[in-house]
Structure 1
């Protein structure tokens, strides 16, 4: 069918010609999709604002030879203005959508789609600290992709924890006997924070100290970039 409907999150946009945009979306049913939105840069456009980054929309598209064309867009989640209107939220949102795009390059990933929508909803609501939302999303997105960090038992020998030595390259915590040279020792609270982020326990996460958050955030960044095999541009943006 040349016409079809999809639900999608706008990851990014690029200008095309004088009035059009190419919109990159993470869709529920088709994974990452690039489509043309004609005339959306004109002030008279009826749905240009619905196709800004971080927006969630119900879309009607027309299949094309190289790129499909968006013919209708109805807002399902108006997260764009709330995320883009605050610099720290914008930086966190940029990390999230870039990660989602990288993780979903291979095709449809409904769980990843739902994780991103939920993460952007929480980020836009501004009730949970920005770095916690970002790091919680990253850990859960990696877990959904098959890279859940081991935080309870030694990932090398299986010795029961608690352990505080974190070996990113091995996938989680290790015991003293399995220690790898150069790996960091975390505070017990930082490991507990990583567990809370992985399970979406915002109450425990919000109760963490600045030191614990800094330690956990460093591990999340390293763990994400290790598994994605190349750095995230948005994660390094200052």
Structure 2
């Protein structure tokens, strides 16, 4: 078996046998990896707490036939400790982890930009300078952009006209009156401006937005994300109750 080292964020875990766990990690260089942490559920385990969701870890692994084996784990940043004490931040972070998992379908396919976005999003959540749902929506929009699904926000997604009237998920973003399909949403201009600010990282503009425009933005972004993933994000049900 070959030995390799990487850093990553733990996305999820699942029990294996009586004492082991399968750890799914989005790594910096290798991409998404599923590794077995042997004996990690025993109280005597040396690195059990280091392989919990949200933890940014430095890892050493052996390549296995189906699953790699985690032989060492050192905590770089324990984001979970700070997020667990704040419900809005925790649920937003959970939605980030689930989205990162969904957007990186193939194992061991390098996804450096998705990794950097996830680490940046978790760090911003922990710092607490911006509302948790704004941070989550910014993460969603940027992750979609990296995946090649950025919504059109400044000109019609179908004809490139600059006079836009609605937001149509199936069309890929904002649309003009002539291209507007049936059932398209008609958000406030301020809501579209907020989406643009979040995608660009214009935090002064995003932080100055009104709550009604934030709520409308969140609904559109969540619907757009889940339509492209062809699967619901379960964690969002808890975020929306906040």
- TM above 0.5, yes or no, is yes
Secondary structure of residue in 2 paired with 1:26: strand
Q: Note if 1:55 corresponds to 2:55.
A: yes
Q: Deviations over 1:142-193 (max 9, x none)?
A: 00000111111111111114x3411111111111222222211111110110
Structure 1 distance, partners of 2:235, 2:165, is 28
Q: Tell me by how many angstroms 1:16 deviates.
A: 2.1
Q: Does 1:222 align with 2:237?
A: no
Confirm whether residue 72 of structure 1 aligns to residue 68 of structure 2. Answer: no
1:87 CA drift (Å):
2.0
Name the residue aligned to 1:10.
10
Tell me the distance in 2 between the aligned counterparts of 1:3 and 1:157: 52
Q: 1:164 to 1:27 in 2, by over 3 A?
A: same
Specify the SS of the correspondent of 1:53.
Answer: coil
Q: C-alpha separation between the residues in 2 aligned to 1:235 and 1:20? A: 29
Distance 2:165 2:214 in 1: 15
In structure 1, C-alpha distance between the alignment counterparts of 2:84 and 2:118, rounded to whole Å: 16
Instruction: Please say if residues 164 and 191 of structure 1, whose CA atoms lie closer than 8 Å, have aligned partners that are also in contact.
Output: no
My pick for the range that moved more, 94-103 or 43-52, is: 43-52
SS in 2 for 1:44: coil
Equivalents in 1 of 2:16, 2:131: separation in Å? 36
CA offset digits 1:15-41 (Å, max 9, x no partner):
223322111111122221111112222
Provide TM-score, normalisation by structure 1.
0.94
**Conservation of the 8 A alpha-carbon contact between 1:11 and 1:98:** yes
Whether the 8 Å CA contact 2:165–2:177 is kept in 1: the answer is no
Matched, 1:172 2:173: yes
Q: Deviations over 1:175-220 (max 9, x none)?
A: 1222222211111110110001111222211111111001100100
* TM-score, normalised with respect to structure 2: 0.93
Q: Secondary structure at the match of 2:154?
A: coil
Aligned length: 237
SS at match of 1:176: coil
Bigger shift: residues 206-215 or 41-50: 41-50
The DSSP-based 3-state class of the residue aligned with 2:178 is: helix
Give the corresponding residue for 1:159: 161
Other-structure match for 2:133: 131
